Structures are given as C-alpha cells and as structure tokens.
A and B are shown apart, each in its own frame.
Chain A
Amino acid sequence: MIENKIIEIAPADLLAKALRYKQDGYHIVQICATRTPDGYELTYSFALEYEMIGLRFLLDEEDEITTISTIFSPAFLYENEIRDLFGVKIQMISLDYKGNLYRIATKTPFKDK
C-alpha cells in the first residue's frame, strides 16, 4: 500500500541525511515548500523502488540553506522553483537561473497571501 513516512529533522542535518540516502541508492522525487505564518515548511522527498520518505523542517524567512544539487543533480530544478516562487534562500545551486526559471512579472508571488 502507499505509505506516507515523514521524518522531522533540523535544517543543519539536511546535507548529512541527503548523503546517507544517496549512499543507500535513493533518488530525489520532489522538494515542496509551504508558507507558514513566520516562514516556510520544506519537505524533501526521496524514493527507492516503491518506498518514499520525506524529510521535513521549518525555516524562518531569512534563513539560508545549502543546495543538495551536488549530491542529487536533478534537485537544481526544484530548488530554483522554490526560490523563484517563494523566496527561500538557497546557496550554491549547480545550475542557477537567478530568478528566471519562470518568467513572471512579480517576484516571489507565492510568498504573500
């Protein structure tokens, strides 16, 4: 059956956990950001065969996190997307579109209600 496992972590543990998953053979499925009243809630999903696990942590608006696109190369698309739409600050993305992934008129439209 479809399982929904989500593990809460601290933002600083993200890189270590991602390396562990890469070692075990997982691949990245998606990165999702949801707006909370004082920041963002990020969920990173990884999958191996039919099993899917999510890593979740909360961020404030001004916090910065490091990319995992050097570990999982498809992550650059998802990270550019949440940076363009929500304004999450992500450093050192491997292929950085600098805000031009979606050619939209207003910056970070999903940030404000």
Chain B
Amino acid sequence: MATRSIVPFGPQHPVLPEPIHLDLVLEDETVVEAIPSIGFIHRGLEKLVEKKDFNEMVYVAERICGICSFMHGMGYSEAVERVMGIEIPARAKYLRVIWSEMSRIHSHLLWLGLLADAFGFESLFMESWRTREKILDMFEYSTGGRVIFSVNKVGGQRKDMDNEMIAEFVKILGGMEKEIRTQSKAFLNDYAVKSRLCDVGFLTMQQARDLGTVGPFMRASGISLDTRKLGYAAYDDLEFEPIISTVGDSYARTDVRIQEIFQSIDLIRQAAAKIPSGEIAVPVKGNPTGEYFMRVEQPRGEALYYIKGNGTKNLDRMRVRTPTFANLPGLIETLKGCQLADVPILILTIDPCISCTER
C-alpha cells in the first residue's frame, strides 16, 4: 500500500488563477481525493440589502465579479422586474442580449488565454488577450467603462447604442472571428496541447447530472441544456442550439467554449439585424413585494437570483447562486485519479470564478 501524503494547493500559486484552496491527498503522484476550501474573499454582499434600496443594489450586484459583471446586473434587474411585474421595452431586451453576448466572448477569450498560459503556451495567451482588447474597447466606446458598465437598471437600460454603433461593432466582430478561427485551429490541432488535454479529467454524463454541474462543463459531457433557451431578454426571438460534446474530457470542454465564441458572434449578428427602435426604459413606481427565482446563463454556467421583497424599499433577501459554486463538486470528482501536474489544468477547465462564488 503506497503511503499517502497531503499537499495543500493554493490559494497563492503561480499557476492558479483563482484563490481556491485544495487539500490534495496523494499516493505517489496520483491524486486520490481532494477537499476544497473557499472563503478567502468573502465580502458578505448579500447583507447590503439592509442598507441599500433596491435601485441601488444593481451597482452592488454588478460588482460581484469583474468578468461576469454585466450579467449579474442584468440577472438582478430581471428578477426585480419580474417581482414587480414590469415589462421592459423590446429595444432594451435586444440591447441586453448584445451586451451579454459580448461579455460571453470576452470571458471565453480571457479563459483561453489563461488555459494556454497554464501549460506554458504564452504566445497564445498574448494573442487571445490582444483580440480581447478589441471587445474591451467596444465596451468603453458604448458604455463608458471597460470592466464595470453600470448600464443596467430596474426598468431597462441607462444608455443606448444607436444603429451605426451596432453596425460598426458587428464589422469589428467579423474581423475578430477570422483571427480567432486561425488561432484556435492552431491551438486545437497542436500535438503538445492534445497530449495535455485529451483523456484527462473525465466526467461521465450520469456523474455530471447527479453532481448538478452547469454550463460548458456540463455540456461537454453530453447534456444538452442551455438556460438561454428559457427565453429571458430577447433570446426567444433568436435561433441557436446548445453546443455539446459527448467525450467529457478537458479537450471537449475547451472545444465547447471555443465554439461558443463563434455562436455568440452569430447571435450578435442576429440581434443586430432584428433590433427594433423605441425606448430603452420604463419608469418604476412603487416597491417590490413578493419573490422570484430568476435563472440566467452566464459564461460559466447557470446563475440563479432569488429576490424577496416585502413592500419597503429595502429588499428582504437577495441570494445569488453562481455557476462555480455548482461546479465545485464536479471538479472534485474529476480530480480523482489524475496526476498532480494535471491539477491546475483541471481547475482551469471548469473556468473558476471564486469572486462570484463567495460574494
């Protein structure tokens, strides 16, 4: 019987992008078990509902995470709008779709760069982040900020993009699409990349279902579910299918995310062609009473927003269940049986966002 040793991994580590701590139980170089430990950046944001009224909580919600910032603000606003029974104008719904899909592209490009950097492929890291700079410039041009946009509010959007701006963005995205295709083809067909990603970290379809995984992590194991199909914002007017892969290893997860970038560019083209003219917000009267569970598809998976209002201007409860929180048990399962050197890669393939997880 080989001797077992426990190696602490994280929260500070040169290859680890997020402050998560894992206690790895090793037998020689094989990981037998992993015990996760989070809580290094808990800010207690959910308690701020007692101090800030429900209009000001949008600004708190969008600061839960820097990468998924727009979708947190959007999910919160949608949840409060459902509680209060407000119907936002059609143009605001399409604007939300366009900004959400741009957020998804920039998040996946960031993730691709981090994955390449994790096994030493620094030139792809630089290339994909250079491509991502074009999206950040588009955000700054349309909303005023590169990371935190502050364009969501309960009742619609605060800023508009006129049609020339949207047409310009679609043209820039078309140019980016060609660049990303060249880079990703070189990446996915490379021998060194394949030997590190293929056949590593399997998660079968039954395991993915039982452990409640979400997002591209789940779709790479063959489950065909996408929360955007529920039809919030303008998604029920757009045509798309969830992208799946049936293999279930790290290479499949990389492939699913890269294909999602192209799917998002296509969705933005569809939305830009169909966007109607009109107002972008409706006035909000009164206070929220009641509760609602809202589900939104973030780049990392399905996020859930629970809002409970009691008729005053402060909400009773705001609860955010983020996708990485749901993927952590799945991560622990994929780590069993892998080599110690594969641990950072496997953590990166679930696309962790610990800032979201701990709020």
Contacts and interface: CB of A to CB of B under 8 A. Distances in A.
**A and B touch in their complex, CB below 8 angstroms:** yes
Contacts of B321: 29-30, 32
B40 interface: yes
Contact of A101 (B39, B211, B230, B232): B39
B35 interface: yes
Question: Which of A30, A49, A54 has the most chain B CB atoms closer than 10 A to its own CB?
Answer: A30
Q: Say which size band chain B's interface belongs to.
A: 35 or more
Interface in B290-314: 292-295, 304, 306, 308
B158 to A, nearest CB: 24
Contacts of B293: 4, 45, 52, 54
Contact of B308 (A25, A34, A101): A34
A68 B40 CA distance: 26
Given A73-B329, A74-B326, A49 B225 contact: yes
B38 interface: yes
B292 A4 contact: yes
Contact of A74 (B37, B227, B295, B329): B329
B295 to A, nearest CB: 7
Contacts of A97: 37
Nearest to B232: A2
Interface in A12-56: 25, 27-30, 32, 34-35, 43, 45, 49-50, 52, 54
Contacts of A2: 230-232, 294-295
B168 to A, nearest CB: 34
Contact of B40 (A35, A77, A103, A110): A103
A113 B263 CA distance: 45
Interface in B266-317: 292-295, 304, 306, 308, 316-317
A71 B79 CA distance: 30
Contact of B42 (A4, A28, A30, A103): A103
Interface residues of A, number: 31
Interface in A54-113: 54, 72-74, 77, 95, 97, 100-104, 109-110, 113
A34 to B, nearest CB: 4
A1 interface: yes
A113 to B, nearest CB: 6
B325 interface: yes
Nearest to A95: B35
22 contacts: A1-B231, A2-B232, A27-B211, A28-B212, A29-B304, A29-B321, A29-B326, A30-B304, A30-B321, A32-B317, A34-B317, A45-B304, A49-B225, A50-B225, A72-B212, A74-B212, A77-B328, A95-B35, A101-B38, A101-B39, A104-B39, A104-B44
Interface of A: 1-2, 4, 25, 27-30, 32, 34-35, 43, 45, 49-50, 52, 54, 72-74, 77, 95, 97, 100-104, 109-110, 113
